[in-house]
Amino acid sequence: MIYQKPKGTADILPGESEVWEKIEKISRETFKVFGYQEIRTPIFEDYNVFARNVGDTSDIVTKEMYDFHDKGNRLLALRPEGTAGTVRAYVENKLYGPEYPKPYKVYYMGPMFRYERPQSGRQRQFNQIGVEALNSESPEIDVEVISMAILLLNKLGVHNVKLVINSLGNDDSREKYRKALIEYLEPYYDNLSEDSKKRLYKNPLRVLDSKDEQDKKIVANAPSILDYLDDYSTKYFEKVKKLLSDLEIKYEIDNEMVRGLDYYTHTIFEIMSDSKAFGGKWTTVCAGGRYNGLISQLGGPDKGGIGFGMGVERLILLLKQENPDFLNAKGPKLYIVSADSQGDKLAFELMDKLRKKGVYVEKSYSNAKVGKQIKDASRRNADYYVVIGKNEVRSHQLKFKKLDSDTEKLASFEELISNPQDILN
């Protein structure tokens, strides 16, 4: 019996895992200069951290969650996203106390789970790198979070993206808009999809996010949320736009964008690409927004927050297309070829000494012919190789040859060990 991985999951194998490490490293470095620190929360949480007693009507929560009862009959769910768990931890650990910085800035990276139909860039276990600025309510923070996402993409070598923003306003604005939307949609009731019918009175904003073609046509002429924002929400959104322009960040406004979760308020955004990697179809790589009601819904103070989640699988598809160099995994600095058993003994010692100095070295572990070992060096993409046989054992003089050129360097065994970086550069 050969087992297969569950549908919608992936093995990240050597070769690819280096890419993940590099993305994670650049993310950490980027977040650090903005003052974000890592938070690690459980992969599963109480079901209601996400559902909030079915206050959430989104697909993610109502249809796609991996929820289950454990052996103690607790209702749990594998996290479908990072924000709710982070807010749960923030509230439980009272990180809003006066002794903590405000905003409280954190980032996370790890797997998320959604029961979706797997396809390119869409899995059931996928990964997000995300940030949250908790205990914050300021257009500056919103723009900081957006600019950080764009900077991260740029640092990864992705430049061809567009930023799309919208505002959902505060509760008052949303309530007014909700009413207007119901009024607009009611005459079309019979033509709406079953999902949208169900959502019309519970959360009509969800209808705007419907993927159903008929729904999309109906929604095309719906009133715009932007016409229902109250004074505070309008000014807030104006300020966000002004600050984006001050930082020379280009954006488009999409007043139909509502995002996939119910807790958003005010600023929401998506960073999209129509790269060949996505068959030229506009695809969201990074998405986020402000959630001013969520902290209090989860038992904390009435404070706001904003964050984003970047889908790592989609990011890698994009990187492969837009910045192929990013993926070139480095081979060993040096590959030691041994010509005979005496040489092999010295090679083994040399390898040990160099590794202790932090140099990536490989050798052959078989008694293959010299030519075969050199081929192996090339297959492993080594920078240099050196052949060690009787003569080298006697003289301790070594000749290093660069694999992709005629460059040769001479150095003694001892020189190499005391100064490997210089000799193998």
- Note the residues at the interface with ligand ATP (CB under 6 A): 81, 114, 116, 121-123, 126, 128, 260, 284-285, 287, 309, 311, 313-314
Going by C-alpha positions, the residue among 415, 377, 413, 418 that lies closest to residue 398 is: 413
Which CB atom, from 85 or from 311, has the smaller least distance to ligand ATP? Answer: 311
In whole angstroms, give the CA distance from residue 266 to residue 288: 11
**Rounded least distance, CB 192 to ligand ATP, Å:** 20
Report CA torsion sign: 395, 396, 397, 402.
Answer: positive
Which CB atom, from 255 or from 342, has the smaller least distance to ligand ATP? Answer: 255
Is residue 114 part of an annotated ligand binding site? yes
Which CB atom, from 291 or from 413, has the smaller least distance to ligand ATP? Answer: 291
Is residue 263 part of an annotated ligand binding site? yes
Quote the tokens at residue 188. Answer: 């079309």
Quote the tokens at residue 210. Answer: 């419907």
Which CB atom, from 240 or from 287, has the smaller least distance to ligand ATP? Answer: 287
**Rounded least distance, CB 223 to ligand ATP, Å:** 23
**Rounded least distance, CB 215 to ligand ATP, Å:** 15
DSSP string, 213-268: HHHHHHHTTSPPGGGG--HHHHHHHHHHHHHHHHTT---EE-TT---SSTT-EEEE
**Rounded least distance, CB 123 to ligand ATP, Å:** 4
Q: To which residue do tokens 């959104």 refer?
A: 237
Phi and psi at residue 411, in whole multiples of 5°?
A: -165, 155
Pairing of strands 305-311, 334-338: unpaired
Quote the tokens at residue 28. Answer: 């950490």
Which CB atom, from 206 or from 333, has the smaller least distance to ligand ATP? Answer: 206
Q: To which residue do tokens 């930082």 refer?
A: 247
Report CA torsion sign: 125, 126, 131, 136.
Answer: negative
Is residue 82 part of an annotated ligand binding site? yes
What separation in angstroms does the CA of 412 have from each of 268, 350, 396, 405? Answer: 62, 11, 5, 21
**Rounded least distance, CB 317 to ligand ATP, Å:** 10
Which CB atom, from 146 or from 336, has the smaller least distance to ligand ATP? Answer: 146
Quote the tokens at residue 309. Answer: 């989640």
**Rounded least distance, CB 289 to ligand ATP, Å:** 9
Phi and psi at residue 143, in whole multiples of 5°?
A: -70, -35
DSSP state of 119: B
Is residue 100 part of an annotated ligand binding site? no
Which CB atom, from 81 or from 322, has the smaller least distance to ligand ATP? Answer: 81
Is residue 342 part of an annotated ligand binding site? no
DSSP state of 122: B
**Rounded least distance, CB 259 to ligand ATP, Å:** 6
Going by C-alpha positions, the residue among 312, 272, 266 that lies closest to residue 289 is: 266
Q: Which helix (H) or strand (E) holds 373?
A: helix 370-379
Residue nearest to ligand ATP (CB): 311
Is residue 122 part of an annotated ligand binding site? no
**Rounded least distance, CB 273 to ligand ATP, Å:** 10
Which CB atom, from 287 or from 347, has the smaller least distance to ligand ATP? Answer: 287
Is residue 256 part of an annotated ligand binding site? no
Binding-site positions for L-histidine read 81-83, 114, 128, 132, 259, 263-264
Annotated binding site: 81-83, 114, 128, 132, 259, 263-264
